[in-house]
Amino acid sequence: MYSHGSHATPISTAGYAMTPGQPPAVYVYQGQRYSDYQQLQAAMQQGPSLHRSGTTSWADVLKDKSALERKVHELFVQYAGADRKLDPAELHGLAIGVGQQLGVDPIAFGDIRTLFHRFDFSGDGHLDEKETFHLIQYMLRVHRDMQQKRSAQFAQRQHVPDFTAASIPFKQVEQAFDLQKKLGQGGQGAVYLAAERTTQQKRVVKFYDKSCANAPVEDIVDEFNLLTKLDHPKIARVYEVFQDHAYIYVVSEPYFGGDLTTCAQRASQNGVALNQNWLAGILRQVCAGILYLHNNRCMHCDIKEPNVMISGDTDWQCPNVVVIDFGLARDFKKSSTGVMGTPGYMPPEVWTQGIWTIYGDIFSMGSMFYNMYCLHQRKAFEGTTIPQLQAQACQCAVDWQPLSNCPSFQHLVQQMMQPSFKARPKVEQVMMHDWWREAGKEETSPISNKAISDLGKLRRTTDLHRALMTDMVGRENLTQLKELNDLFASMDADHSGTVTEAEARKALKNRMPPAEVDKLVQTLMGDTGCVTYSRFMAEMIAAKKADNDEVLWRMFKELDVDNNNSLDANEIRAMLQKQKVREIMADRTVTDVMDRMGLNRTGNVSFQDFKRALETVQGEVESSSSTTRPQTLREGDKVQYFSSSYACWMDTTIAAVDTMTGNMQLQCKPGYWLPPEEHHKVRRA
């Protein structure tokens, strides 16, 4: 049914063949296997001493490809054993051997497991001779750069950009994650399905090769930091970004329903009728995601079917769509075409002038809309070679006949693929086109009765409970919770990723008694007048799990570092240091919390104390349900802002409020727009 080349199969959670559990480390040195590092070191000391002159000969070898190939062949035969494949243990031996010849500690090449994955281009869990060649070449280059770095005359020619001073934390990927399955190997680096070791949560870890960075370090760091701030149900959720000497790692949520290259086929196999209404339901979600990116100064630059995933594989009638692989493309991708993007989706201006604008994204979306409409039987650009695809894009040579049975869809896609980028519509305009109404997808779907009843369960809990819950939920995978996602989507009418009070009231009108709506708005939004996606999810999950002892116990045990089933002052202090807790409990001192938990009376906090402290809602909160909600903050209001740097509340005034986004500016922070998720740091003076 599909003519599309890259069939991304949905990822399975089965273990990666390479890591059946955690095998004991085995090192291979001079053909002998050692299960213990100390034994290995002893053997190396007794072994033939390798000449330091090797250092110079290696440097020459690096300049001569065939000499390097011969050297690698020797080493490969020596370390790979009879199967002619290097496994991670054998690679360890090889790294030690090469390190010894160069006179450096193998640590200099970085984490060996990471190296292994980096060069396992085929993703089969072994390195063949060719992969090993690239690996050894890399080791030699790292070594050369390190030496050059030491000598001042080469300081300008440093190969790997220096991120060390930047604000991205350092971490060893293998210590934090069990890399289980290779999902892809793109221009920027490998992508793995992994389990986070501390929580066993499934994650996707993407490696960005620092040596491919082609933008100033500061810009790149900003881009990475932006990723963790994006918060929208249709945009892949990024949990954290960290680095080691060779890579920057981006950890995000995994999606298990495959991508848009296989979506129609799988839906059809599951008995779904593939009509316009179904297609519009999917494409509208893509629009919502891209709209959010564009509103947050982020261009995707690589929109295509493989970069749009389905979050789960259960609901094919209304699949939940998530956009992946955004940003960073410009800063990182090394591209064979000289321009960055994917032929067949790239607009003419990128081919001819290398300009990417948000209208380039619209063009790519147009190409994808076309392909999806034709179920990939036909594509907007049918070329089979890069020059053909380039020529077709530059001439905008699209055959519109396959779309002609739906004139309004053809009109929409034609607008999106106009040769002049300035003539193309923006995402908002795309979403206002008549076609959506014709396809029955203009309005957001109404909230289900089940969701209304879930919303009714929302109750105001203690700040501490909310803080710990937000911290915990912040680490959970959210898109699997389809019902809650749908609920959020039905309320977020403008797809901004934030539900405002007006949106909530409109969505709930005539579905709940007005007093209930007031209470709900107050619970969800407090004084800020809006709620972001992740905050909404945290509140809803907290409400569902609030009276669940198991969840409280899990929280308690996470805090109980010394595992003695009680919390002492240090553990409470550590709890208050957590990012989310600091944000929500900004004005609480350790003593306050300890008092509340009875710590100062007994010297420690038992689970019962902990539970009582989390569940007892203070007078101020109980009364809030009966009083009306305080007015939303407006320009000119006198407020206080909690300064994290000074750890105190400071008097200030609201300088401006952006009603679209809910962002506000404070006089004490000129030029900074405080996003809704930081509004709890502001209170009325």
Ligand X SMILES: Nc1ncnc2c1ncn2[C@@H]1O[C@H](COP(=O)(O)OP(=O)(O)O)[C@@H](O)[C@H]1O
Residue of 296, 307, 320, 652 interacting with ligand X (CB under 6 A): 307
Pick the binder of ligand X from 204, 455, 520, 537 (CB under 6 A): 204
Determine the interface stretch with ligand X among 282-290, 303-311, 377-385, 481-489 (rule: CB under 6 A). Answer: 303-311
In terms of Cα–Cα distance, which of 246, 252, 249, 251 is closest to 164?
A: 246
Of 188 and 444, which CB lies nearer to ligand X in the complex structure? 188
When the beta carbons of 342 and 390 are compared against Mg ion, the nearer one is 342
In three-state secondary structure terms, 208 is strand
**Distance (Å, whole) CA 371 – CA 285:** 17
301 lies in the site for ligand X, by CB under 6 A: no
Number of other residues whose CB lies within 10 A of the CB of residue 538: 23
Which of 302-310, 340-348, 386-394, 515-523 is the region at the interface with Mg ion (rule: CB under 5 A)?
302-310
Of 90-98, 246-254, 525-533, 599-607: span binding ligand X (CB under 6 A): 246-254
Q: Distance (Å, rounded) from C-alpha 34 to C-alpha 89? A: 10
Distance, CA of 276 to CA of 436 (rounded, Å)? 9
553, containing H or E segment: helix 549-559
How many Å apart are CA 609 and CA 600, to the nearest integer? Answer: 12
Asked if 390 touches ligand X (CB under 6 A), the answer is no
183 binds, among ligand X, Mg ion, none (CB under 5 to 8 A by kind): ligand X
- The window from 14-22, 104-112, 199-207, 324-332 that contacts Mg ion (CB under 5 A) reads 324-332
Cα 360 → chain centroid: 23
The set of residues, in sequence order, having a beta carbon less than 8 Å from that of 168 and lying 6+ positions away, is: 221, 224, 225, 241, 242, 243, 248
Q: Identify what 204 binds: ligand X, Mg ion, none; CB under 5 to 8 Å per kind.
A: ligand X
- Among 325, 486, 571, 609, which residue interacts with ligand X (rule: CB under 6 A)? 325
Report the partner that residue 598 touches, choosing among Mg ion, ligand X, none (CB closer than 5 to 8 A by kind). none
CB of 23 to Mg ion, least distance (A): 31
Q: Which residue is nearest to Mg ion (CB)?
A: 325
For 124-277, strand residue ranges (E) read 177-185, 190-196, 202-209, 238-243, 247-252
C-alpha triplet 314, 320, 323: angle, nearest 5° = 130
Compute the least distance from the CB of residue 325 to Mg ion, in Å: 4
Scanning 6-14, 321-329, 518-526, 596-604 for contacts with Mg ion by CB under 5 A, the matching segment is 321-329
Selection from Mg ion, ligand X, none that 676 binds (CB < 5 to 8 A by kind) is none
Hey, which residues between 42 and 101 contact ligand X (CB under 6 A)?
Answer: none
**In whole angstroms, what is the distance from residue 272 CA to residue 252 CA?**
30
Contact 213, 220 (CB under 8 A): yes
Residue closer to ligand X (CB basis): 11 or 576: 11
Site for ligand X contains 8 (CB under 6 A): yes
Residue from 126, 206, 495, 681 binding ligand X (CB under 6 A)? 206
Shorter beta-carbon distance to Mg ion: residue 307 or 371: 307
Residue 423: half-sphere exposure toward Cβ, Cα within 13 Å: 10
Q: Render the burial of 604-633: b for 16+ CB within 10 Å, e for the rest.
A: bbbbebbbebbeebeeebeebeeeeeeebb
Residue 89, binding choice from Mg ion, ligand X, none, Cβ under 5 to 8 Å by partner class: none
Binding-site size, ligand X (CB under 6 A): 21
**Nearer to Mg ion among residue 187 and residue 402 (C-beta):** 187
* Residue 54 phi, psi dihedral angles, 5° rounding: -55, -30
Is 261 among the residues that bind Mg ion (CB under 5 A)?
no
The single residue among 307, 461, 485, 496 that binds Mg ion, judged by CB under 5 A, is 307
Identify the residue among 88, 233, 306, 319 touching ligand X (CB under 6 A).
306
From residue 555, alpha-carbon distances to 211, 239, 296, 543 in Å are: 40, 19, 34, 15
> Which entry of ligand X, Mg ion, none binds 244, CB below 5 to 8 A by partner kind?
none
Nearer to ligand X, 309 or 682 (CB): 309
The residue count for binding Mg ion (CB under 5 A) is 2
Among 323, 421, 306, CA closest to 372: 306
Q: What residues contact 31, with CB distance under 8 A and at least 6 apart?
A: 78
Nearer to ligand X, 11 or 72 (CB): 11
d(CA 510, CA 505): 9
Q: Note whether 461 binds Mg ion by CB under 5 A.
A: no
Cα separations in angstroms, 667 against 168, 275, 641:
29, 53, 10
Site stretch for Mg ion (CB under 5 A), options 149-157, 304-312, 461-469, 632-640: 304-312
Residue nearest ligand X, Cβ-based: 186
* Dist CA 15 CA 21 (whole Å): 8
Which tokens is 106 given? 């193998």
| Binding positions for ligand X, 161-200, rule CB under 6 A | 183-184, 186-188, 191
238 binds ligand X (CB under 6 A): no
Which 247-276 positions form the footprint of ligand X (CB under 6 A)? 252-255, 259
Q: Determine if 323 is a binding residue for ligand X (CB under 6 A).
A: no
Question: Which residues in this chain contact ligand X in the complex, by CB under 6 A?
Answer: 8, 11, 183-184, 186-188, 191, 204, 206, 236, 252-255, 259, 306-307, 309, 324-325
Question: Which residues in this chain contact Mg ion in the complex, by CB under 5 A?
Answer: 307, 325
